[in-house]
Structure 1
Amino acid sequence: MQILCHLSQLIEKSAEKYGEKIALSYRDYDREQWMGISWNLFARRVDQSARSLVALGIGVQDNVAVFSQNKPESLFVEFGCFRSRAALIPFYATTAGAQVQYMVNDAQIRIIFVGEQQQYDATWSVLGLCHSLEHIVIFDPKVERHPSDNISMSFDEFLRLGINEPRYQAEVQRRVNEAQDSDIANILYTSGTTGQSKGVILLHSQYRFALEAHTKVFTITPEDVIINFLPFSHVFEGAWAKLCLSCGAHLAINLRPLDIQRSMREVQPTCMCAVPRFWEKVYQGVLDKMESGSALQRSLIKDALKVGGEVWEKYTSKGKQPPLGLRMKYAAYDKTLLRLLRKTLGLTRPNIFPVAGATVSPEVERFVHAAGFDMLAGYGLTETCATVSCDHPGKLVSMGSIGRPLPGVEVKIDGANNEILVRGATVTPGYYKKEEETRKSFTEDGWLRTGDAGYIKDGELYITERIKDLFKTSNGKYVAPQAIEGKLTIDRHFEQVVVIADQRKFVSALIVPNYKAIEDWAATQGITFDSREALCTDTRVKKFLAQHIDTLQQDLAAYEKIKRFVLLPEPLSIENGEITNTLKIKRRVVYDRYAEQIEGMYVE
């Protein structure tokens, strides 16, 4: 049964109920084994963190930052902030120094908790420009500190500040007793694809409403094991983790993103939230294995996925019973090939798998359900405390929809652009210190403008395009770049795609290929090369990829199709400022950086 209370009391009340049951686990890379943290220990660490924050002079609604990859300590500090009524601001682990400086100064952050060397170095590099910052607390004891550093401390040193101090304990308890739903829980800075980041305010009341609403849609139990794939600084993972904790589930914290598949096999999770790109990679991996198998193996796997897809798309998603023959055929595949697939992924006990953050292609949606995973497609924003809509188990699901609105959340379609508007208790009161930005983001009668276009059909929400990203060609035709990009990246030969079309005669693209896939193909064709630059300019490679592009975009209108493209020898990266921490393309940066290549595609 879900524990519903103010987040300042959630871990404490859960410990009273679950005691020594495992609440969190993580891989200890020195011992190469997973370590468990009980609810009792979790509660003690949260309370110690709250007392130590008070000891350092953090007051009610002061701002504290965590700049780290996912770690148990991140949760100790966040819930410690909730107990002491401070606001927690999570930074992405890959955030650059300049952005750290901006957020620290914008929010007047006094204490920053850093995960490892990269985060410590980024913070230290801008320390002299962050006048509000008083303390750096370091999670990883292996971090090498700067010789002149006299303001940092280890996490163990931090925890000891509040031990055996009754006055700090009494102050924490007083704050917990006085905690309000109107308190700020988090300030989440958006990625800023077009400009400077905005701090989205999330109140405790938003979380309370969201946590309760989700359990009216689907069930998570104390027997569920949830693995974290996205960073806690992402609203999707951050809110999802709080939901799972409120249901008593076990969180298996994946510390290093690149280890996720290994972690899944070791932990055998029952649930995981992810972005569509994760499942695209899984799908591409299965297709690769099919290609390397025998003709019989390829035929069987292809048929198993076809049968599974048909069962879901035509019957179970519509609340119908498949015909007996089809049902028996799928049951046979489910106990053999599909079961082996789930075992290979480490998902032998699947419950639910929420997916949001981008459009899910029909091929991937069909594949995931065919494999036996209950993918819940959804839609949300940082400004809505994550979920606006999602698939509701037990209700009809249509291919391509992003589900039904969460109970208590209102959605309507507005204006000539068909903009999706949202209203409800999960919606932010606004942006931190940005009244004008807040005013522009709401209608006069209080609806949040999402910036996304869509429609509602039979109670399900569909998204068509991002209004701000809608391009207009010089011929007056409108093009949705993300839809075109998504069609290509479903193919294993394409890693990243950036469409160019605004005020241009035709659509073109900058493409980062899957270098390994292209190199393997080139080897089979006897194509030699001494660099990626040479590979990307080889006419045979470009012709091969052009054929794939033509196939993938055959259902697009003529004016939407990519006519020319340039292959890039290096991937777009966060470090180069070309993509955001949430992997969204910073189009202005990319267009400026590759201006010469872009102009070259439009030379007659």
Structure 2
Amino acid sequence: MTYHHLSVLVHRQAEKYGDRIALKYRDYDKGQWLPITWNQFSESVHVAANAMVEMGVAEQENIGVFSQNKPECLYTDFAAFANRAVTIPLYATSSPAQVQYIVNDAGIRYLFVGEQFQYNAAVTVQFLCKSLEKLIIFDRSVVKDERDNTSIYFDEFLKLGETKQHSAIVEERSSKATEDDLANILYTSGTTGEPKGVMIHHSCYMEQFKNHDIRLTDMSDNDVSMNFLPMTHIFEKTWVYYCIHKGVQTCINLRPSDIQTTVKEIRPTLMCSVPRFWEKVYDGVQEKINETTGIKKALMLDAIKVGKIHNIDYLRVGKTPPLMNQLKYKFYEKTIFSVLKKTIGIENGNFFPTAGAAISDEINEFIHSVGINLIIGYGLTESTATVSCTISNDYTIGSVGKVLPGVEVRIGENNEIFLRGNTITKGYYMKAEATAAAFTKDGWFRTGDAGYMKDGELYLTERIKDLFKTSNGKYIAPQALETKLVVDRYIDQIAVVANQRKFVSALIVPVYEHVKEYAEQKNLEFGSMEELLQNPKIIALFKARIDTLQQQFAHYEQVKRFTLLPEPFSMEKGELTNTLKMKRNVIEANYKELIDKMYEA
């Protein structure tokens, strides 16, 4: 297969695919999905690349993109690559302080912003950023600050290059582009300390294209991918670039909260997601089973049982299921399983990669049992996403799959996973000390994750930095316990507390609707959610469910006390990162009084 540099990739694909659809996006005013052909995609990149030259963008200059997912993000990325410039994505939910830090750290002159929220955050700190000269606004409906006389809209930006008067300069720059050029700087979401800019070179993406071509042999240019996760995240960014490399049609979901609707409108064959998406699918099915009675309920339970035997006990290990099981599975596939997939919007599914957090074995097993081809993966920003992933019909529940070709894994001290290869970052932008600390003397990257290899597959055990040590000297891996407990239909979020404490406790955000339904069934009266969550019968309900789920853990690892919270953890309160990972230090500070109360004698 031919591998084109990102500076020319879109144009080479346009030469191949012409008027085939490359991208789609939802026009909310018209209420429909609008197509963008490969030729139109290429033309927009050409014009944007010329506009950048007109505006004064230099080779290897850092350009910021602060937006939710939009086609304009891709036009900007690939126009920058054509000019050998570097793009720096900022999460659409970033606060003004986060924007200020990244713009100053990377010396950004031009910042492309999406909608009103991003514009407002950027214009607030514009005068605190010495390097920042201009905002380019994607959304024409954004109302500019009356004091703002430098910002322009994206259509005005494109007019700067519509005559393509600088095509010779762009072509010359593209011809000089090499795999050693820096492509992106991705700032970590910062669960601890200040964000660090992870440098991703073109060589990292090129290597991932090659690795994934070897691993994902079932993917073709006939696939349709739903772009759901933010393109600021390395998982989705690498995936979208890879889809462009493969000629896959990419449908861009603008608003994350709309995914349950948009996925049914597109009915994709591919979609990257995080485990939370599948947890909600699992919860929905369990809820349906609980509401159903009689023969219908028996059929649903039997379908899952038959699916497990068919897909996990047999096909997963390369065996042929018994004839009776095959017949029953075909029946359930055409009835119960097809209805489930159609309800979600994934009945055309090829496979669905998931990563970013641990997924419980129960949910993993369930999703495969009902015939959804879930690909479990592991990776980091510093590894340009995928380190390992499962293979269809050749995986072990509980593993994160086989390591990709071209990536080396070594298990070091404290079982830490070390990485080496062409997909691994060369370091952190302008942070020599942090870069040196991240690598061993012989060049292996320290992931901070602990794990082990078995039968060619990688297993994760805990995040080393997250390990708690109780006051009794026992080590606790909070993520393992949280992953187990969050499966419960009544638990939405959970933060385990144990560091330097006598025992393990937890802060729990319930699924409020389920708690209300339970209260109504039991005729429990309450004036507010806070009052209801303090009801002894509700507390007893959670205790019974937690005790059942944590039986496999050692006694000292089990949650002894917990507090039910009337409000969820949020990014606004600083408790979650932009990728929805918990900031444990912030949570423990915000809920210090409640935590201390759990440890009172």
User: For this structure pair, what is the TM-score category when the shorter chain's length is used for normalisation?
Assistant: over 0.9
Contact kept, 8 Å, 1:138 with 1:153, in 2: the verdict is yes
Contact kept, 8 Å, 2:311 with 2:371, in 1: the verdict is no
User: What is the alpha-carbon distance in structure 1 between the residues aligned to residue 304 and residue 244 of structure 2?
Assistant: 34
1:531-542 matches, within 5 Å, as 531-542=528-539
Which residue of 2 is the match for residue 458 of structure 1? Answer: 455
User: What is the alpha-carbon distance in structure 2 between the residues aligned to residue 88 and residue 300 of structure 1?
Assistant: 52
- Distance of aligned partners of 1:222 and 1:390 in 2 relative to their CA distance in 1, 3 Å threshold: same
SS at match of 2:347: coil
User: What is the alpha-carbon distance in structure 1 between the residues aligned to residue 526 and residue 392 of structure 2?
Assistant: 51
User: What is the alpha-carbon distance in structure 1 between the residues aligned to residue 213 and residue 267 of structure 2?
Assistant: 23
User: What is the alpha-carbon distance in structure 2 between the residues aligned to residue 184 and residue 410 of structure 1?
Assistant: 22
Which residue of 1 is the match for residue 168 of structure 2? Answer: 170
Q: Deviations over 1:444-492 (max 9, x none)?
A: 1110000000000010000000001011111111100011111111112
User: What is the alpha-carbon distance in structure 2 between the residues aligned to residue 537 and residue 215 of structure 1?
Assistant: 54
Which residue of 2 is the match for residue 150 of structure 1? Answer: 149
State the Cα distance separating 1:393 from its structure 2 match. 3.4
Which residue of 1 is the match for residue 410 of structure 2? Answer: 412
State the Cα distance separating 1:45 from its structure 2 match. 0.8
User: What is the alpha-carbon distance in structure 1 between the residues aligned to residue 322 and residue 140 of structure 2?
Assistant: 60
User: What is the alpha-carbon distance in structure 2 between the residues aligned to residue 233 and residue 494 of structure 1?
Assistant: 28
Q: Deviations over 1:192-237 (max 9, x none)?
A: 0011000000000110010111010113211100001210000000
State the Cα distance separating 1:556 from its structure 2 match. 1.0
SS at match of 2:7: helix
Which residue of 2 is the match for residue 304 of structure 1? Answer: 303
User: What is the alpha-carbon distance in structure 2 between the residues aligned to residue 177 and residue 105 of structure 1?
Assistant: 30
1:264-279 matches, within 5 Å, as 264-279=263-278
1:199-210 matches, within 5 Å, as 199-210=197-208
User: What is the alpha-carbon distance in structure 2 between the residues aligned to residue 24 and residue 3 of structure 1?
Assistant: 21
Contact kept, 8 Å, 1:199 with 1:432, in 2: the verdict is yes
Which residue of 1 is the match for residue 398 of structure 2? Answer: 400
Contact kept, 8 Å, 2:90 with 2:232, in 1: the verdict is yes
> Which amino acid letter does the alignment assign opposite residue 183 of structure 2?
A
Contact kept, 8 Å, 1:110 with 1:135, in 2: the verdict is yes
1:559 aligns with 2:556: yes
Which residue of 1 is the match for residue 15 of structure 2? Answer: 16
User: What is the alpha-carbon distance in structure 1 between the residues aligned to residue 488 and residue 274 of structure 2?
Assistant: 17
Contact kept, 8 Å, 1:315 with 1:322, in 2: the verdict is yes
> Which amino acid letter does the alignment assign opposite residue 566 of structure 1?
T
Which residue of 1 is the match for residue 362 of structure 2? Answer: 363
State the Cα distance separating 1:158 from its structure 2 match. 0.5
> Which amino acid letter does the alignment assign opposite residue 195 of structure 2?
S
User: What is the alpha-carbon distance in structure 1 between the residues aligned to residue 470 and residue 232 of structure 2?
Assistant: 36
1:59 aligns with 2:47: no
Q: Deviations over 1:158-189 (max 9, x none)?
A: 101112142x1111111011101111100000
- Distance of aligned partners of 1:548 and 1:13 in 2 relative to their CA distance in 1, 3 Å threshold: same
The RMSD of aligned alpha carbons is 1.0
SS at match of 2:428: coil
State the Cα distance separating 1:425 from its structure 2 match. 0.5
Contact kept, 8 Å, 2:387 with 2:407, in 1: the verdict is yes
Q: Deviations over 1:92-126 (max 9, x none)?
A: 11011101000000000111111111101111111
> Which amino acid letter does the alignment assign opposite residue 459 of structure 1?
G
Contact kept, 8 Å, 2:310 with 2:326, in 1: the verdict is yes
State the Cα distance separating 1:528 from its structure 2 match. 2.0
1:471-550 matches, within 5 Å, as 471-550=468-547
Contact kept, 8 Å, 1:218 with 1:393, in 2: the verdict is no
The structure 2 residue matched to 1:437, chosen from 434, 437, 440, is 434
> Which amino acid letter does the alignment assign opposite residue 489 of structure 2?
R
SS at match of 1:549: helix
Which residue of 1 is the match for residue 420 of structure 2? Answer: 423
Contact kept, 8 Å, 1:312 with 1:366, in 2: the verdict is no
1:48 aligns with 2:47: yes
Q: Deviations over 1:14-68 (max 9, x none)?
A: 0000011000001110010111000000011111111111111110010011111
Which residue of 2 is the match for residue 179 of structure 1? Answer: 177
Q: Deviations over 1:64-109 (max 9, x none)?
A: 1111111111111111111111100011110111010000000001
The structure 2 residue matched to 1:216, chosen from 208, 211, 214, is 214
- Distance of aligned partners of 1:330 and 1:570 in 2 relative to their CA distance in 1, 3 Å threshold: same
1:469 aligns with 2:455: no
Q: Deviations over 1:372-391 (max 9, x none)?
A: 12111110000000000011
User: What is the alpha-carbon distance in structure 1 between the residues aligned to residue 2 and residue 162 of structure 2?
Assistant: 28
User: What is the alpha-carbon distance in structure 1 between the residues aligned to residue 553 and residue 457 of structure 2?
Assistant: 24
Q: Structure 2 length normalisation: TM-score?
A: 0.99
State the Cα distance separating 1:312 from its structure 2 match. 2.0
1:595 aligns with 2:592: yes
Contact kept, 8 Å, 1:3 with 1:247, in 2: the verdict is no
User: What is the alpha-carbon distance in structure 2 between the residues aligned to residue 208 and residue 188 of structure 1?
Assistant: 17
State the Cα distance separating 1:594 from its structure 2 match. 0.6
State the Cα distance separating 1:293 from its structure 2 match. 2.4
Contact kept, 8 Å, 2:354 with 2:374, in 1: the verdict is yes
User: What is the alpha-carbon distance in structure 1 between the residues aligned to residue 164 and residue 306 of structure 2?
Assistant: 64
User: What is the alpha-carbon distance in structure 1 between the residues aligned to residue 454 and residue 164 of structure 2?
Assistant: 59
Contact kept, 8 Å, 1:64 with 1:110, in 2: the verdict is yes
State the Cα distance separating 1:13 from its structure 2 match. 0.3
SS at match of 1:7: coil
SS at match of 1:27: strand
Which residue of 2 is the match for residue 259 of structure 1? Answer: 258
User: What is the alpha-carbon distance in structure 2 between the residues aligned to residue 93 and residue 489 of structure 1?
Assistant: 27
The structure 2 residue matched to 1:446, chosen from 440, 443, 446, is 443
User: What is the alpha-carbon distance in structure 2 between the residues aligned to residue 115 and residue 492 of structure 1?
Assistant: 36
Contact kept, 8 Å, 1:227 with 1:264, in 2: the verdict is yes
User: Identity of counterpart residues, as a percentage?
Assistant: 52
Contact kept, 8 Å, 1:15 with 1:43, in 2: the verdict is yes
Aligned residues: 600
User: What is the alpha-carbon distance in structure 1 between the residues aligned to residue 230 and residue 80 of structure 2?
Assistant: 19
SS at match of 1:93: coil
> Which amino acid letter does the alignment assign opposite residue 260 of structure 1?
I
Which residue of 2 is the match for residue 382 of structure 1? Answer: 381
SS at match of 1:215: helix
Q: Can you give the 5+ residue segments of structure 1 that lack an aligned partner in the other structure? A: none
User: What is the alpha-carbon distance in structure 2 between the residues aligned to residue 274 and residue 533 of structure 1?
Assistant: 32
SS at match of 1:322: coil
Q: Structure 1 length normalisation: TM-score?
A: 0.98
User: What is the alpha-carbon distance in structure 1 between the residues aligned to residue 371 and residue 214 of structure 2?
Assistant: 23
SS at match of 2:533: helix
1:198 aligns with 2:166: no
SS at match of 1:537: coil
Contact kept, 8 Å, 2:46 with 2:164, in 1: the verdict is no
Contact kept, 8 Å, 1:413 with 1:420, in 2: the verdict is yes
- Distance of aligned partners of 1:515 and 1:3 in 2 relative to their CA distance in 1, 3 Å threshold: farther
User: What is the alpha-carbon distance in structure 2 between the residues aligned to residue 481 and residue 335 of structure 1?
Assistant: 40
Which residue of 2 is the match for residue 573 of structure 1? Answer: 570
State the Cα distance separating 1:249 from its structure 2 match. 0.5
Contact kept, 8 Å, 1:217 with 1:393, in 2: the verdict is no
SS at match of 2:553: coil
Contact kept, 8 Å, 1:228 with 1:237, in 2: the verdict is yes
SS at match of 2:508: strand
Q: Can you give the 5+ residue segments of structure 2 that lack an aligned partner in the other structure? A: none
Q: Deviations over 1:393-422 (max 9, x none)?
A: 36x31110101111111111112x101111
State the Cα distance separating 1:132 from its structure 2 match. 0.5
SS at match of 1:455: strand
> Which amino acid letter does the alignment assign opposite residue 528 of structure 1?
E
SS at match of 1:8: coil
